[in-house]
Amino acid sequence: MGDLTENFSLREFRCKDGTGVPPELVDNVTLLAKNLQVLRQRIGKPLRVVSGYRSPAYNKKCGGTKKSQHMQAKAADLRVSGMSSDELHAIINELIDDAKMMQGGLGKYPSFVHYDVRGRKARWKGSK
């Protein structure tokens, strides 16, 4: 089981370059994981965190935006086996509209969905 929530561990949010989530950002990733736990319970299937925290160097290397929420450990790019990006995006949007998940950034890409806990509404469609 997880150490942030029932189904999420801090390790899942590590940067792909091997960097762990900095201690000063653990509160941010905990808030993110609590919101993702609501999603996990709603869909009843595991969520795969494709990208969680990103170190500034890794964010630049992978083409992330200069103010990426990933660098603050407030964002996750997600996939769910057997579920399309359209389906996952719609469920997250519904949970936000129902105030069950925090308002934030929601981006739809062909192979994943980005969700973040920035605290204000942001929506986009990406091509990556």
Q: How far is CA 112 from CA 66, 68, 89, 90, 100, in A?
A: 20, 16, 9, 13, 21
- The average pLDDT across 99-122 equals 97
Domain positions in the chain: 10-125
CATH number, domain 10-125: 3.30.1380.10
- Provide the pLDDT for residue 128: 63
- The average pLDDT across 91-95 equals 98
**3-state secondary structure at position 108:** strand
Summarised one tens digit per residue, pLDDT across range 31-86 is: 999 999 999 999 999 999 999 999 999 999 999 999 999 999 999 999 999 999 99
Summarised one tens digit per residue, pLDDT across range 42-54 is: 999 999 999 999 9
Distance between CA atoms of 115 and 35, rounded to whole angstroms? 10
pLDDT confidence tier of residue 2, bands split at 50, 70 and 90? low
3-state SS, one letter per residue, for 36-59: HHHHHHHHCCCCEEEECCCCHHHH
